[in-house]
Amino acid sequence: MITPKPAQLQPRYDVVVVGGGPAGLAAAVGARESGAERVLVIDREPEAGGILQQCIHPGFGLHHFGEELTGPEYAQRAIEQTLERDVDVLSSAYVLDVASDRRLKVTSRDHGVAFLDAGAVVLAMGARERTRGAIRIPGERPAGVMTAGFAQKLVNLGGMLPGRRAVILGSGDIGLIMARRLVLEGVEVEGVYELMPHANGLNRNLVQCLHDYDIPLHLSTTVVHIDGRERVEKVTVAPVDEAYRPNMAKARDIACDTLLVSIGLIPDNELAHRLGLRLDPVTTGPVVTSTMETTRDGVFACGNVVHIHDLVDYVSQESELAGRGAGAYATGTPTPPDNVRLTPGENVRYCVPPTITTDREHTVYMRVTKPMAPCTLHLGDVYKRPLRYVFPGEMVTLKVRPRFLEGFHGGSLPVSIVPREEGGSA
Amino acid sequence: MRYDVAVIGGGVIGCAIARELSRYHLRAVVIERECEVGLGTSKANSGIIHAGHHGAEGSLKGELEWRGNQMWDALADDLHFGFKRVGDLTCAFDEDQRATLRQIMEQGKRRGVPGLELWGPERIRREEPHLSHDIVEALYAPTAGVVNPYEACFMLAESAVRNGVDLALERTVVGIRPSEKGFEIAAVVGDDATPELIKARFVVDAAGLHADAIADMVEAGGFRIRARKGEEYLLDKRLVGYVKRVIFPCPTPTSKGILVIPTYDGTLMVGPTATWADKDDLATTAEGSAEVFAGARKLAPGISEKDCIAEFAGLRAVSDTEEFILGPSRVAGFVLAAGMQSPALTAAPAVATVVLDALRDDGLELVAKDDFEPGVPAPVRFAELSSAEQRSLVARDPAYARLVCRCEIVTEGEVRDAIDRGARTLDGIKFRTRAGMGRCQGGFCTWGCMELLHERLGIPLTAVTKRGGDSYVAIPRLEGAA
Ligand SMILES: Cc1cc2nc3c(=O)[nH]c(=O)nc-3n(C[C@H](O)[C@H](O)[C@H](O)COP(=O)(O)OP(=O)(O)OC[C@H]3O[C@@H](n4cnc5c(N)ncnc54)[C@H](O)[C@@H]3O)c2cc1C
């Protein structure tokens, strides 16, 4: 499966997309559909598709392609969609810098260090995993402590194993998927430990990856010590109280040679920093408008660079939108600016986009702080919708239709999710 | 193998001694138990070249700190490791501490440390706006510097090797016997049962935490080395430039306290703690973390745990007198460089000259070589080049066009060079190139580094280690699994 490379780099493109994962590929499609002629996707790997290429399990595409695909299958579809639309894909290349005049500095084996000008830029570099250092797990620093995503790469792309007996810290989706994967590979998975009183991954992963394989999930429990000079020899786990303070009296040692950490993803924003984009302290991604434009003219962002998504399908949808925005910008087609701000209220951590317009339909993605069931989603007092449950591991999506906002004259609308009395009406 | 001098221990002290020895017509070897030099205390410290005014008058630590301090510019010019003089500020919060600042300043002046100044609150705020407003006065010392200590070790060793010194790595000294012509050193190689014998007329004990055990092997010791642990925490590059100088609290008689350190690469580091520990205890602790962040916040209130990306602990090799044990021992031909706690990194180049003097006094003839080559080739640092330089570099060698580490912008060419210059492990690559030191902590680049170690060293991926021994990263798939 080789991604064709453009024979020659052009000095100028209408839209340059940084990152060839599902976000970047969908953005390229969106850009072409909105009239951009020359569109280039740049990816650092030899093959586009991003992290999906190592996600060999099924569960992708139900929403976007209407059927269940594996990660590489989803990636392949996305790549084909771009190639059908004459998008150039430059792989094994790395964008070192984007200047505010949208001149990109790119390094690649094929073209050396080159400069390209872009009518519009889409940032779609994805996310990186939080590591052990970020949560300062006490103990020694042996080999065998690794992120779940790195272990996934070792197993699925490298045909190796991280170890023989693993403990998993964090119930993020990659950790859950890897718990199952390791068991299938003959590795013993002692258990999954989660600091929070609730799991962080998708419900379906809890069922299909842990429950179906009898892997225990220990909530409100964390790793308090790592032992091992060269390779992990044991970890110590302890339950935590409401303030997440470990109860050392109840600490327990687990012999293992591997500790996988699956404690969350962080938008990869090296370029956003270089561009001086305004970042949102909650999502840690760039602040965007309803067309996914950042605080710098003609620079758009989408996918996990903006906020961490639960399903790739939503990444593709959001990114097509960003691509359309970038294409419109590059071709000089104006879009009416946003005129309504959404303010996160009770049990809403953030809304993306944080601002919308009254003239179009918008899909707003949000994350909750805590599980709730049953509950009601309120958009100010202009709209409400009952929800069976909400869960921090799953995004909530809300379609805001222009008719909701007929007669609304204010500037800001609070979005909140509040408990619903059993049997009461929404 | 028969040598004139065997140096036991390849930390910064052993490496500095080896390079000094390589100036002369003689055969020398460095015996080190790890698979690369500098992986002991010398990589796990604050990386400060202390200004020269700290140590008490008349103390060896104080005098050698200042002598060593003045030798780093020339070393860095020859050996191209990261070093810059950023200056330091020692901060006083009350009248007693102000008095201490004055006393340190006078002691420094008498020693000849130039440029010491007392700064009032206004000056402090202008120069270092993020420091606490409770600081009433600070002592500024322009001579303080920061160094990448592991790079210094690698380059000192490389220079020594280029000038004829042998490196005997992965050899643990288990016994030393005096012989007619000097000493016979028994060193265990890996899991081998029979040790290898290395003969040398002179031995230098630079074995860090284990210098006491080594000296006891020939009854040259009679001292004890204990380990005092220091935990350090590295912060995200979001805070690059937050302080420009090394920030010290006012010292107490026993400790320099918790510091805020702008490392050579610009990111901040906070620490170290100081607690007695076992000689193999490199664990960081929840208490240590709490102490470090509380201490750092006292100096710079904006520092937060939220920015932590990594942490480590190092062990100071402390003698009972707290002083260096340096020079001749009671056994002729056996020279000591023990008790090398802080500021021994700073002092290392001066320590090496003291050791050479002691060897000469014991009868080693030092005849300078005409062909001693002081320099080593500068490693390529792609990220530090201008665009024009990058373009011509990758036109010459496209390996520099492929990125391996995205956080620190390190290319395949740089990783390859590091391996060709001696890196054998992921840590060896990391400490030479910075690949894996950034905010993703190797999540992205470990793979590329493993592949390059595999290709260049011809070892299977499952034989790649973090830092030698059993620190493998992956194992082969199990037979018969699904
Ligand atoms: C937290 C901390 C912060 C510090 N900050 C500073 C600072 O800012 N500035 C400063 O000047 N100093 C500082 N220091 C002190 C400085 O790091 C040390 O003084 C210096 O690194 C000592 O170097 P060394 O070569 O003696 O020891 P090491 O680096 O420990 O080298 C000893 C070597 O001997 C080897 N060895 C031991 N036993 C054997 C054996 N039997 N056979 C073969 N090999 C053996 C070991 O493997 C090791 O590599 C700090 C120390 C700590 C712990």
Q: HEC string of A138-162?
A: CECCCECEEEHHHHHHHHHCCCEEC
Q: Does A416 touch chain B (CB under 8 A)?
A: no
What does B434-480 look like in DSSP terms, one character per residue?
-TT-STTTTTTHHHHHHHHHHHHHT--GGG-BSSSTT-BS-EEPPTT
Distance of CA A380 to the CA centre of its chain: 28
Q: Mutation target for B interface from A111, A160, A232: give the one with most B CBs within 10 A.
A: A160
The residue among B75, B165, B373 whose CA lies nearest residue B67 is B75
Q: Do B156 and B131 share a structural domain?
A: no
Q: Shortest CB distance from B474 goes to which of A132, A161, A226? A: A161
Rounded to whole angstroms, the maximal C-alpha distance in chain B is 74
Find the residue in A nearest to B445 (Cα).
A150
Of the residues B261, B281, B315, which one is the last residue of a structural domain? B315
Residues of B in contact with A108 (CB under 8 A): 401-402
For B352-360, what is the mean pLDDT?
98
Residue A35 is which amino acid? Answer: G
B68-91: pLDDT as tens digits: 999 999 999 999 999 999 999 999
Taking a contact as any Cβ pair under 8 Å apart, which residues of chain B between 233 and 252 contact chain A? 233-234
| CA-based nearest distance B303→chain A, Å | 14
B134-190: pLDDT as tens digits: 999 999 999 999 999 999 999 999 999 999 999 999 999 999 999 989 999 999 997
Q: Which of B33, B43, B45 to mutate to test the pocket of ligand 1 (most atoms within 8 A of CB)?
A: B45
B68 found inside a domain: no
The total domain count for chain B is 3
Distance of alpha carbon A60 from alpha carbon A202, whole angstroms: 13
- C-alpha triplet B59, B63, B69: angle, nearest 5°: 145
Q: Show the beta-strand stretches assigned E in A368-420.
A: 375-379, 383-387, 396-400, 412-419
Q: Does B189 touch chain A (CB under 8 A)?
A: no
The residue among B439, B469, B456 whose CA lies nearest residue A144 is B469
Q: Do B230 and B219 share a structural domain?
A: no
Q: Are A271 and A123 in contact (CB under 8 A)?
A: yes
Residue B154: half-sphere exposure toward Cβ, Cα within 13 Å: 29
Q: Do B174 and B287 share a structural domain?
A: no
Pairing of strands B196-205, B334-338: parallel
CB contact under 8 A, B441 and A92: no
Taking a contact as any Cβ pair under 8 Å apart, which residues of chain A between 45 and 74 contact chain B? none
- Whether B80 is catalytic is no
The residue whose C-alpha atom lies closest to atom 21 belonging to ligand 1 is B42
Q: Hey, is A93 helix, strand or coil?
A: strand
Tokens of B12: 């910064």
Q: Does A138 touch chain B (CB under 8 A)?
A: yes
Cis peptide leading into residue A374 (ω within 30°): yes
CB contact under 8 A, A109 and B398: yes
Q: Does A248 touch chain B (CB under 8 A)?
A: no
DSSP conformation class of B236: -
From residue B246, how far is each of B49, B82, B138, B145, B254 by CA, in Å? 10, 16, 12, 8, 19
Residues of B in contact with A115 (CB under 8 A): 387
Q: Hey, is B209 helix, strand or coil?
A: helix
| CA-based nearest distance A391→chain B, Å | 24
For B22-34, what is the mean pLDDT?
97
Taking a contact as any Cβ pair under 8 Å apart, which residues of chain B between 457 and 476 contact chain A? 461-462, 465-476
Find the residue in A nearest to B409 (Cα).
A96
B71 found inside a domain: no
For B243-254, what is the mean pLDDT?
92
Angle between helices B412-420 and B445-457 (to 10 degrees): 40
DSSP conformation class of A240: B
pLDDT at A3: 57
Taking a contact as any Cβ pair under 8 Å apart, which residues of chain B between 80 and 99 contact chain A? none
B51 found inside a domain: no
- Other beta carbons within 10 angstroms of residue B238's beta carbon come to 13
Distance of alpha carbon A164 from alpha carbon B232, whole angstroms: 31
The residue whose C-alpha atom lies closest to atom 1 belonging to ligand 1 is B230
pLDDT at B359: 98
Q: Shortest CB distance from A158 goes to which of B411, B472, B474? A: B474
Q: Does A332 touch chain B (CB under 8 A)?
A: no
Distance of alpha carbon B71 from alpha carbon B18, whole angstroms: 16
Taking a contact as any Cβ pair under 8 Å apart, which residues of chain B between 96 and 115 contact chain A? none
What does B140-191 look like in DSSP terms, one character per residue?
EETT-EEE-HHHHHHHHHHHHHHTT-EEE-SEEEEEEEEETTEEEEEEEETT
Q: Shortest CB distance from B403 goes to which of A44, A227, A231? A: A44
Q: Mutation target for A interface from B275, B280, B389, B402: give the one with most A CBs within 10 A.
A: B402
A341-386: pLDDT as tens digits: 999 999 999 999 999 999 999 999 999 999 999 999 999 999 999 9
B468 found inside a domain: no
Q: Which domain holds residue B195?
A: 2-42+150-224+321-361
pLDDT at A342: 97
Q: Do B420 and B457 share a structural domain?
A: yes
All residue ranges of chain A with pLDDT < 50 are: 1, 424-426
Q: Do B232 and B336 share a structural domain?
A: no
Distance of alpha carbon A316 from alpha carbon A117, whole angstroms: 25
Q: Do B176 and B308 share a structural domain?
A: no
Distance of alpha carbon B448 from alpha carbon A231, whole angstroms: 21
pLDDT at B439: 84
Distance of alpha carbon B50 from alpha carbon B344, whole angstroms: 10
The residue among A267, A410, A287 whose CA lies nearest residue A352 is A287
* C-alpha Rg value of chain B to the nearest Å: 23
Tokens of B384: 């530090």
Find the residue in B nearest to A144 (Cα).
B473
Q: Do B230 and B218 share a structural domain?
A: no
Q: Do B131 and B174 share a structural domain?
A: no
Residues B454, B457, B463, B468: is their CA dihedral positive or negative?
negative
All structural domains of chain A: 12-127+266-330 (3.50.50.60), 131-263 (3.50.50.60), 340-419 (no CATH)
B415 found inside a domain: yes
The one catalytic residue among B25, B50, B54, B210: B50
Q: What CATH number should be reported for the domain holding residue B269? A: 3.30.9.10
| CA-based nearest distance A108→chain B, Å | 5
Q: How many residues in chain A?
A: 426
Distance of alpha carbon A52 from alpha carbon B439, whole angstroms: 22
Q: Do B195 and B155 share a structural domain?
A: yes
Residue A97 is which amino acid? Answer: D
Distance of alpha carbon A191 from alpha carbon A189, whole angstroms: 6
B471 found inside a domain: no
Q: Are B345 and B45 in contact (CB under 8 A)?
A: yes
pLDDT at A426: 42
The average confidence (pLDDT) of chain B is 96
Q: Do B449 and B439 share a structural domain?
A: yes
Q: How many residues in chain B?
A: 482
CB contact under 8 A, B467 and A230: yes
Q: What CATH number should be reported for the domain holding residue B424? A: 1.10.10.1100
Residue A194 is which amino acid? Answer: E
Which residues sit with their C-beta closer than 6 Å to ligand 1?
Answer: B 8-14, 31-34, 39-42, 45-48, 50, 172-173, 206-210, 214, 230, 232, 272, 314-316, 340-346
Distance of alpha carbon A148 from alpha carbon A293, whole angstroms: 32
B349 found inside a domain: yes
Q: Do B347 and B388 share a structural domain?
A: no
What does B271-327 look like in DSSP terms, one character per residue?
E---EEE-TT---B-HHHHHHHHHHHHHHSTT--GGGEEEEEEEEEEEETTSS-EEE
Tokens of B325: 């044990």
Distance of alpha carbon B322 from alpha carbon B105, whole angstroms: 22
Residues of A in contact with B469 (CB under 8 A): 229-230
DSSP conformation class of B112: T
Q: Do B413 and B343 share a structural domain?
A: no
Q: What CATH number should be reported for the domain holding residue B355? A: 3.50.50.60
Q: Mutation target for B interface from A125, A141, A224: give the one with most B CBs within 10 A.
A: A141
B287-320: pLDDT as tens digits: 999 999 999 999 999 999 999 999 999 999 999 9
Angle between helices B426-433 and B445-457 (to 10 degrees): 110
Q: Are A170 and A263 in contact (CB under 8 A)?
A: yes
CB contact under 8 A, B481 and A163: no
Residues of A in contact with B440 (CB under 8 A): 128-129, 131
B377 found inside a domain: no
